[in-house]
Amino acid sequence: MTEPCLTLRRLAAQEPANWPETLTLPATFTALDTWTNFVHAVYRFPTYRFETEIEGRVTGLLTLTHIQHPIFGNYLTTSPFGSYGGFAFQDVEARDRLLAAARALAEDLKVEYVNIRFAPPDPAPPPGWVQHPVYCTYWMDLSPDLDALLSNFSSDHRNHIRKSYKKGFTLRFGGLELLDDAYEVLARSMHELGSPYHAKTYLKTMAEFLGDTLEFAVLYAPQGALAGAGVFIQHGKTVTNLHANILRAFRSDYAGEFLYWGVIERYARRGFQIYDIGRSLIGSGNETFKMKWKPRKHPLAYWYALRPGVELPALNQKNPKFAAAIWLWKRLPAFLVRAVGPALINGLA
């Protein structure tokens, strides 16, 4: 009797993906049509989707977005503007067929490299691929028993959370009614950090495409001043911190602790099981803050297939080539930063 044969299929441009939850949950929301369609609506980047099948049963999926940017290069990536995802498989055969499809597409498009970003149990790549170990993500297990969650933290961290509640902050969750405030905080805080940010239409379009699975959170100081904001995306029993920033003036008042604990309370009570606190550079200050919440630290697979002669890209703050640009960006006027920023950050997908 002949064993069933694995086949590879490339989905047509307008064909809806019909993938099982066993694959879409580990591939995260960045693999879904809602996300890829949102990215295309904002930046017009083309997306290529592949699946492996055995007798009509999908055993693997891969979504790749093609980025062409005058500064940051010509490349293919999974999970554009997300931390990871867009790739999942049930076995090594499916994985290798999808990776071979990625390399073939890269050759057809003449890109400099392919970047596969996902969260496997072991980030070690197969032959022909290079792992760039610079990012981790942080998964906090949630429970409706908030006292038990608090008891996991250090006494200092619990004290900082309590202090934040004495500062008079308020936290609102919602949709497009919070768009203006959420964008203002995120744009200002990214400017403070020396990084470009998207235009407001980026967040607006994201909220329109993702619907009820996306929530904005906005943190207000006692007199109503903006203090912080975040974008949170729900997928299965996981809620993901896509963006969360605190304005510099409020960090010493433990505004970050107030925002994060408010998020934990909200989604724990609503039955979510995992809070993905989001990726950070290994050894960064962001990682130090996230580890205070006692998450499971998980190294991310950032696999690269490079064209001959192309060096491993380092599109992150650890790259010393960016130091002068970050210093200058912090000092540019806001009107210029907001005009130029979207044209820069669209290459950092």
Mutual orientation of helices 155-164 and 255-269 as an angle, nearest 10°? 90
* Distance from the first to the final alpha carbon of the chain: 47
**What whole-number distance in Å separates Cα of residue 268 and Cα of residue 274?**
8
Q: What percentage of the chain exceeds 70 in pLDDT?
A: 99
For domain 6-134+300-318, which CATH number applies: 3.40.630.30, 3.40.50.1860, 3.10.400.10, 1.10.3210.10? 3.40.630.30
User: What is the model's pLDDT at position 229?
Assistant: 98
Tokens of 326: 């970050």
User: What is the model's pLDDT at position 76?
Assistant: 98
Q: Which residues pair with 78 in a beta bridge?
A: none
The DSSP secondary-structure symbol of 236 reads T
Domain 6-134+300-318 and domain 138-298, same fold? Reply is yes
The DSSP secondary-structure symbol of 331 reads H
**pLDDT single digits (tens) 165-176:** 999 999 999 999
Residue 155 has pLDDT above 90, yes or no: yes
Domains of the chain, by residue range, sit at 6-134+300-318, 138-298
**What whole-number distance in Å separates Cα of residue 237 and Cα of residue 228?**
25
Residue 289 has pLDDT above 90, yes or no: yes
138-298 — its CATH code?
A: 3.40.630.30
**pLDDT single digits (tens) 61-90:** 999 999 999 999 999 999 999 999 999 999
The Cβ-side half-sphere exposure at 186, using a 13 Å CA radius, reads 23
Is the separation of the CB atoms in 198 and 43 below 8 Å? no
Reported confidence tier of residue 346, pLDDT bands at 50, 70, 90: very high
User: What is the model's pLDDT at position 317?
Assistant: 76
User: What is the model's pLDDT at position 16?
Assistant: 95
| Distances 6 to 90, 97, 115 between C-alpha atoms, Å | 12, 9, 24
Q: Which residues contact 326 (CB under 8 A, 6 or more apart)?
A: 193, 194, 195, 317
Q: Which residues contact 98 (CB under 8 A, 6 or more apart)?
A: 8, 50, 52, 60, 61, 62, 87, 89
| Distances 54 to 12, 68, 85 between C-alpha atoms, Å | 19, 34, 22
Q: Where does residue 25 rank: exposed (0-12), middle (13-18), buried (19+ CB within 10 A)?
A: middle
Tokens of 155: 């006494």
Residue 44 has pLDDT above 70, yes or no: yes
**pLDDT single digits (tens) 180-190:** 999 999 999 99
User: What is the model's pLDDT at position 318?
Assistant: 74
Q: Where does residue 282 rank: exposed (0-12), middle (13-18), buried (19+ CB within 10 A)?
A: middle
**What whole-number distance in Å separates Cα of residue 114 and Cα of residue 273?**
32
Which secondary-structure segment (H or E) carries 269? helix 255-269
Return the higher-pLDDT residue of 319 and 264.
Answer: 264
Determine the 3-state secondary structure of 319 from DSSP: coil
Tokens of 153: 């933290």
**pLDDT single digits (tens) 290-322:** 999 999 999 999 999 999 999 998 777 777 778
Residue 2 has pLDDT above 70, yes or no: no
**What whole-number distance in Å separates Cα of residue 217 and Cα of residue 201?**
17
**What whole-number distance in Å separates Cα of residue 276 and Cα of residue 19?**
22
**What whole-number distance in Å separates Cα of residue 202 and Cα of residue 212?**
17
Mean per-residue pLDDT of the chain: 96
Reported confidence tier of residue 1, pLDDT bands at 50, 70, 90: low
**What whole-number distance in Å separates Cα of residue 114 and Cα of residue 307?**
9
As a whole number, mean pLDDT of residues 129-145 equals 96
Which secondary-structure segment (H or E) carries 105? helix 92-109
